[in-house]
Structure 1
Amino acid sequence: MQLATKILIYSVFVLVATVIGSFLLFDSIVRFGIRDQTALRKRNEMRGLYLKIPIPLRFNVYFFNVTNPDEVTTGGKPKLQEVGPYSYDEWITKVDVVDNDVEDTLTYSPMSTFIFNEEKTGEGLSPDDVVTVLHPVIVGAVTTAAETNPALLNILAKAIKSIFREPKTMYLTDSVRNILFDGMKINCSVTDFPGKAVCSQLKTQLPGVKEVEKGLYSFSLIGNRNATEGKRTTIKRGIKDSKDLGKLVDYDGMKQLNMYDSEECNKFQGTDGWIFPPFLTREEGLWAFSGELCRSVHVKYVEPRPYKGVPTELYEGDFGDQTNDSNEKCYCPTPKTCLKKGLYDLTKCMKVPITVSLPHFLKVDESLVDGVEGLKPNVSKHSIAILFERTLGVPTVAWKRIQFNFMIKPNAKVESMQNVPEVLHPLLWLEEGVILEGALLKKIQSVFFLQKINSFLRWVALLGALGGIGLSIYLYYQNKDKGTITPIHIMNKFIGNFNDDVKNFKSTTTSATSRGSDKGEHDNPAFINDHQTSIDKTKF
C-alpha cells in the first residue's frame, strides 16, 4: 500500500506542475516576452531591424515591350512581349528618427537605395537593353488634357511635335537604364510658344522631371526615389499597447487623407507596412497604408502555408471591385464613373492618369486581357502575397506586385494617336519583396523549435502522470483483494511462525526441567529425538 501511495503522490505532483507550469505559465511567459521584445523600445533588437533592414529587398522590373508599334498607330491590337526581370537590391533605412514617449510614437523619413543585381537579373539581360514602351510623357499629357481641359489639346499637339520632334507613334524606344533611373531626355530648348508653355508645366507638374542642363530635361520612373528621403511618417511604438505596434498615425503632416469623398477611405488603416503587431487573428487580415497608392491596402487570409519550419499562413490582396463593392465606391474616379474589377486610378494620388492593376491583369475583367496580346495571368507569379506568422507578427516571404497602365483612346488633335485602339495599355510591372533567410530566419525558427520541445515534454509529463495515477490505483486494489502478495508480507509471516516455535520450545524445555531435573532427562537420547521430531513437524 505504501508503494501505491508514493506513486500516487508523485504522479499528482507532476500532473499539477505540468498543467500550471507548461500549459499556463509557459504560454503566459512567452506571450509577455513576445510583446516586450517586438515593441520598438530603444533597447530592443527589433527596433534596430526596423530602422535599418539588414537585408536588401528584391526590386524587380518587367517591361511590356511592344513589338508592333506601327500597327497599333493605325488601329491594331498591341502585341506585348514581357522582358525581365531587371533586378535591383533595394536597401531600406529610416532617417531623422524622433521618439515621443508621451504619445508612444516614432517619426522617421524613409530612404531607399537601389543597386543593380546582375545575378538575379534575367539571363542575358542588361540595363543597357533597349525596349519599346508607351511614352509616359506624351500619353500622360494627352490623356490629362482630354479629361480635364480639351481646349488645350491644340496647343499640346503642337508642343508634342516641337519637343519630341514630330513623333510618328505614341511609343518610346530607349534603354532600361534611362527609363528607370538616368532619365529619358526631353528637349525643352524649343522657342515656339506651345513648346515653351508645356515645358514650363512639365517641370512643376510631372514627378520625376529634373533639369539636366539649360533647355534639357530628363524624366525617369524611379530615379527620383533613389537615395532620396521620403515623406515624414509617424507610427505607434507598441510599448504601451502591443496591439498598436506599427499603427500609422501621421503621414506627410496629415492625420488622414482628404482626397476621397468617404471618411472611411480617407483614414489610415493598419501599419506603415514595415511592421505588424503580434497575435493578430485570421479574421483581421493585414492592413497597411501605401503612400505610393494614397490608400490603405487589405490582404486576406487564404490558407495555412508553412515555411521552413515556421507555421506561416498565406495572405493575398488585390485592388478590389469598385463597381460591385460598396466599400470601394469612394475610390471611383468620379461619383458616376467606377473602374472595372481589379483596377485602381492613381490620378488623384500622383497627378498622372495612371491606372494600376495586378500584373498581367490578374483578377481583372477578362475583357481587358483580350484588349492586348501577350498577357498570361498567373496567381503564383502575379498576386500580392505574404507568408505571415501571426504569433510574432512577422512575414517570412512577402511580394508586393503592381502593374502600371494607361488608358489610350483615339484623339483627333494628336497625330500619333488619331487611330489608336481604345484599350487599357500596360507599360510595365514591378515587384518588391523580401525572403527571410540566414540568421533572421533561424531566430524565428528557434522560437517555434522551443515551442515544439515544450509541447512534446508537456504531453510526455502529462501522460506519465496519468499513467502513474492509474498504476497506483491498480496496485491499491490488487493489495486490497489478495491481502499478501508482496515479499514483505511473506517475510512477516515467516518471522511470526518462527517466533511461535521459539516460544513453544522454551515452554517445553521449562516443563521438562521441572519434572526430571533429578533423573537427567536432558541427557536421554529419546527425549532429544522426540523434540527434534516436534520441530520437524512444525509448518511455516
Structure 2
Amino acid sequence: MKGGLTGEDNVTWTKDGIAPVFGVNHTVLNNNNAKAKEAAGTDDSNIQKISLRQILCLLGVILVFLLSITGTVIMWGTNMIEDIVDQRLVLRNGSDTFQKWINPPVHSIRKFWLFNYTNVEAFELGKEPKLKVEEVGPYVFREKMTRVNAVFNDNGTVTYQARRLYEFLPERSGGSLDDMIVFTNIPLMTMHHQAYQLNYFQRLGASAGLKMVGAQPFFKKTAKDFFFGYRDTLITLAEFQVPDVKVGFLQEKNGTFPEKYTMYTGETDVNLMGIISRYNGMEYMDYYNDEECNRVDGSDGSKFPPSSIYPGSTIYVYDRDACRRIPFIYNESVTVWDGIPVLRYMPPDNVFDNGFDNPDNMCFCEDSCQLSGVSGISHCKRGAPLFVSLPHFYKADPLLLEAVEGLNPDPEKHQLYLDIHQRIGTPLAVKIRIQVNILVTNGLMQTINSKLEGEIIPIVWIEREMDTYPDDVKDIIYMITFTLPVVKTALSYIFPLLIAITGIVLLICAYIEIAALLRKDPPSRAASETVITRL
C-alpha cells in the first residue's frame, strides 16, 4: 500500500504501540539508556562530593589568609601587646596591681652610718686644730612600707598615706644599738640657729638657761637613742620651740606619716602613671619663693610612667626628706638579676650646687647660698639648720671637707642611682645615698669654738636599697622582659609568612579551577542519543 508499511519494513508490535526499530533491539536501547543515566548519576554524585570538600578547604584557607592579614596589621601597625601590659600596670581599685602597690612584695633596706666625733675634748681645748670623725656602722634596718587610707578620686588619681615600720637587722649590721656614739646635739644647734630671730632679752634668757642645764654642742648617746629618741632637760626647756619632747632620727619616720600624697593611677593617662599631683592637697609646696622649686610633680620613687623611661630622658623624684624634687638623668644601660636589661639614672653632678654655680637652684638657697654640694632643708624640718648632700660631701666644694678630718669621698660607695625597667617603669635595683649635715652657729652667745662657726658638719649618711624580690615577681618580670618580646617578634614574621603561603594556595586553586573549565568536554549525549541501524 502506497505511503504505508511495506514488506521491506521491519516493524515490532508491542502492547505500547508500534516501535520501528532500525537494526536495534528496543530492549537493548532501553538498557543502554538506563546504564547511561546511572553512569551520569554516579558522576554527578562524585562531582558534588568533590566540590563540597574543595569548598570547605577553600574557606579554611581564606579564613587563615584573613586572620593572617589582621595579625600582621596588629603586630606591625599597633602596640597592642605594650598596651595590654600598660593596662595591667594601671592602678584600679581591687586589682592585683593595686594590692601589690598598697602592700609591696619587696621591702627596702636602710643602712645608716653614724659619724662619731672622736676628739671633741681635745678640739675644744685647742689641742687639735680640727674635729675628727669616724664612720660607725652600718646599722641596718628593714623598712616595711605600706600605703594606707587609699581613696580613689574621679580625676584618675588616688590619695594615700605612707606607713613605715623599721626592723633592726643585727645579723646584717656592723654595730649594736648599744654602741656609744659622740654626735652633734641637734636640738642645741637648732636653738642657736633660731635665736637670731629673738630680741636681745630673749636671747639672754635662753643663753642663761643653756648654761644652767650645761648643754654642750656634742654629747654621747647610744645608737638606739639616736634612732628612736631620747629625753633630756634641754628638750624640755626648748619645748616652746620644738613641739616634740623626744627627738630621734627615726622618731617621726616610724609609723603612719601625716602627709597625704595624691598620685595619678594611669586610668585616664598612662603617661602620668605614678606621678604625684598633690602633696598635702597642694599642687605646689610653700617652702620656697619660686614656683619651680616648689613643684611636687615627680614620682615617689617606686613607679614611673614607662613612656618616660628611655635613653636620654630626665625623670624626677619627690623626696620629702630633701624637701624638693630631685632630677635623675639617664646615664647608661646595665643589667641586673643575671641579664635583665635596665636603664640607670643618676642625678646631675650639680644637683646640690648653689645658685651661683647652678642658676636653677637659686630658689633653694633660702636666706643665703652655702657652698656648692649641699641643699638646705630647714623649711621642712621645723627650722633646724639641716642640709643634705651626697655622702662624705662627694661632688661638693672641696672646702666642705676641711671642717673635719676623716671624710673620704668615693664614687663606688657614695654615688646614687636608680636602675629602672624600661617596660614597666619600676626600679629593680637602687642605691639612694644621702648625707644629713648641720650648720653650726652661735646665736645664743654660748661659747662654741670659733673654728666651727659657720661650718657644715656631718651627722649621718643613709643608703637605701631594695631587698630580695620574691620568685613569683621575678617570674613576671622575666616573662615581660624576654617571653613577650620573643612572642611578638615571632608573630610579626609568622603572620606575613602565612599570608604568603595562603595566598599561593589560593592562586593555585584558582589556576586549577580555571584550567579545568577550559579543558572540560561538551556534555555527553550518550544518555539521550539512539543508534539507528537500517537493516
TM-score (norm 2): 0.73
8 Å contact from structure 2 (residues 106, 469) kept in 1: no
Give 1:300's match in structure 2, choosing from 317, 329, 334: 329
- Superposition deviation, residue 410 in structure 1: 6.2
Q: Which amino acid aligns with 1:84?
A: G
- Cα distance, 1:57 vs structure 2: 1.0
Residue 205 of structure 1: aligned partner:
241
- Determine the structure 1 residue equivalent to 2:187: 137
Secondary structure of 1:441 counterpart: helix
Q: Distance in 2 between matches of 1:327 and 1:418?
A: 33
Relative distance call for 1:184 and 1:161 in structure 2 (3 A) is farther
Q: Could you tell me whether the CA contact under 8 Å between 2:309 and 2:425 is conserved in 1? A: no
The 5 A counterparts of 1:498-537 are none
Check conservation: 1:73, 1:420, Cα contact below 8 A. no
Give how far 1:358 is off.
Answer: 0.8
1:431 Cα shift?
2.0
Match among 67, 85, 89 for residue 138 of structure 2:
85
Evaluate the alpha carbon distance shift between residue 287 and residue 30 of structure 1 in structure 2; reply closer, same or farther with a 3 A threshold: same
Candidates 140, 143, 157, aligned match of 1:105: 157
Question: Cα distance, 1:157 vs. partner?
Answer: 2.5
| Aligned-partner Cα distance in 1 for 2:89–2:330 | 22
> Where does residue 332 of structure 1 map in the other structure?
365
Distance 1:393 1:370 in 2: 41
Call closer, same or farther: CA 1:140–1:38 in 2, change over 3 Å.
same
Tell me the number of residue pairs that the alignment of Structure 1 and Structure 2 aligns.
Answer: 436
How far apart, in 2, do the equivalents of 1:250 and 1:374 lie?
41
The equivalent residue for 1:397 is 429
- What does residue range 316-395 of structure 1 map to in structure 2 within 5 Å? 316-317=346-347, 319-321=351-353, 322-334=355-367, 337-350=368-381, 351-395=383-427
Residue 322 of structure 2 contacts residue 388 of structure 2 at CA under 8 Å; is this kept in 1? no
**CA deviations over 1:495-519 (Å, ceiling 9, x no partner):** xxxxxxxxxxxxxxxxxxxxxxxxx
Q: 1:410 touches 1:420 (CA, 8 Å); kept in 2?
A: no
Equivalent residue letter for 2:136: V
Q: Of 231, 234, 239, which residue of structure 2 is paired with 1:185?
A: 231
User: Aligned-pair distance for 1:383?
Assistant: 2.2
Contact 1:333 1:345 (C-alpha < 8 Å) held by counterparts = yes
Tell me the residue number matched to 2:120.
69
Q: String of CA shifts for 1:159-186, please: whole Å, max 9, x gaps.
A: 22223xx25x5211010001110x2221
In the alignment, which residue of structure 2 is the partner of 1:155? 205
Tell me how far apart the structure 1 counterparts of residues 122 and 499 of structure 2 sit (CA, whole Å).
81
Q: Does the 8 Å CA contact 2:192/2:444 hold for their aligned counterparts?
A: no
The 2-side partners of 1:219 and 1:262 are apart by 31
Could you tell me how far apart the structure 1 residues matched to 2:402 and 2:451 are?
Answer: 19
Distance 1:411 1:99 in 2: 48
Query: What's the CA shift for 1:20?
Result: 4.0
User: Is residue 2:362 matched to residue 1:315?
Assistant: no
Alpha-carbon offset, residue 99 of structure 1: 1.1
Match of 2:530 in 1: none
Structure 1 unaligned spans of 5+: 1-8, 189-197, 211-217, 469-540
Partner of 2:41 in structure 1? none
- CA drift of 1:301 comes to 0.8
CA shift digits 1:249-291 (9 cap, x unpaired): 2212322112212111122222233321122144432212222
Give the match for residue 251 of structure 2. Answer: 223
1:263 and 2:316 aligned: no
Larger Rg: 2
Deviates more, 1:383-392 or 1:280-289: 280-289
Matched residue SS, 1:450: helix
Any conservation in 2 of the 1:316–1:384 contact (CA below 8 Å)?
yes
Q: CA deviation at 1:143?
A: 2.5
Q: Residues 412 and 33 of structure 1: is their aligned pair in 2 closer, same or farther, counting only changes over 3 Å?
A: closer
Question: Greater helix percent: which structure?
Answer: 1
Distance apart, 1:241 and its partner CA: 0.8
TM-score by length of 1: 0.73
Cα RMSD (Å): 3.3
Contact 1:170 1:417 in 2 (8 A): no
Alpha-carbon distance in structure 2 between the residues aligned to 1:78 and 1:402: 22
1:242 maps to 2:270: yes
| Preserved CA contact (<8 Å) 1:14 1:465 | no
**What is aligned with 2:512?**
none
Deviations 1:458-492 (A, max 9, x none): 68859989999xxxxxxxxxxxxxxxxxxxxxxxx
Which runs of 5 or more residues in structure 2 are unaligned?
1-61, 502-535
1:448-527 matches, within 5 Å, as 448-454=481-487, 457=490
Per-residue CA deviations over 1:424-447 (Å, capped at 9, x if unaligned) read 211111122324523323311111
Q: Could you tell me how far 1:126 is from its partner in structure 2?
A: 0.8
Please give the alpha-carbon distance, in whole angstroms, between the structure 2 residues aligned to 1:452 and 1:31: 10
- 3-state SS of paired residue (1:311): strand
Structure 1 residue 39: deviation in Å? Answer: 0.7
2:167 is aligned to 115
Partner Cα separation in structure 1 for residue 304 and residue 73 of structure 2: 31
For 2:200 and 2:479, how far apart are their aligned partners in 1? 63
Moved more, 317-326 or 73-82: 317-326
What's 1:57 paired with? Answer: 108
Q: Distance in 1 between matches of 2:449 and 2:197?
A: 15
Match of 1:175 in 2: 222
1: CA distance, partners of 2:301 / 2:200:
39
TM-aligned CA deviation for residue 98 of structure 1: 1.1
CA contact (8 A) 2:147 2:162 kept: yes
TM-fit CA distance, 1:408: 2.2
Q: How far, CA to CA, are the matches of 1:30 and 1:242 in structure 2?
A: 15
**2:307 aligned to which of 269, 273, 279:** 279
Q: Which string of whole-angstrom CA distances, capped at 9 and with x for unpartnered residues, describes residues 511-537 of structure 1?
A: xxxxxxxxxxxxxxxxxxxxxxxxxxx
